[in-house]
Amino acid sequence: MLPDELVPASRSAKAPAPGEVVRAHNPMCFGCGDRSEAGLHMKAIAGEGTDVTARMQVEPRFEGGPGVIHGGILSTAFDEVMGTIPLLIGPSGVTVHLEVDYIRPIPVGSTLQFTGTLLGRQRRKIFTEAVAHIGNPDEPVASTHAIFVTIDVRKHFAAHVEKSARA
């Protein structure tokens, strides 16, 4: 449910150009980090406005039920896609709410295509949605919506950075 006072947000001058990869926020991030050995290694591509796209190969190691993706992996992929949206409009944000609708089984070996969209903001809260499909955008296999809250990265992670594999 979106709040009535939701306001549109505009693209930051610091955002990557349309078609460019949105930078990884941490090289050790399970979702987007290049240095995360077991990670998803997802790359979000900036759209024209405040949207992003991404792709993910559903590898056998992501299996949950027989022959299909584990729901937690799909949730992580959605979190990664939508988590790049705050970087298009300003400061980083962290997930405070994420809800996934699993529409159809997603087979191992398929390629998921994601589109994430900014719905608007309310003070520090950033409201997003995303959809995933396998080849046909008119036949989604899952959808989600999330709320992120903007943060001061240095303050937010100060007490934890020494435990990071990046440290």
pLDDT value of residue 130: 98
Q: Tell me the backbone φ, ψ of residue 62, rounded to 5 degrees.
A: -95, 10
Beta strands in 8-80 (DSSP E): 45-46, 51-57
pLDDT tens, residue by residue, 93-149:
999 999 999 999 999 999 999 999 999 999 999 999 999 999 999 999 999 999 999
Whole-angstrom Cα distance, residue 86 to residue 116? 11
Whole-angstrom Cα distance, residue 16 to residue 23? 8
Grade residue 161 by pLDDT with cuts at 50, 70 and 90.
low
Task: Say what the pTM is.
Answer: 0.91
* Residue in this structure with the two tokens 């997802």, named with its chain if needed: 42
Query: Are 152 and 13 within 8 A, CB to CB?
Result: no
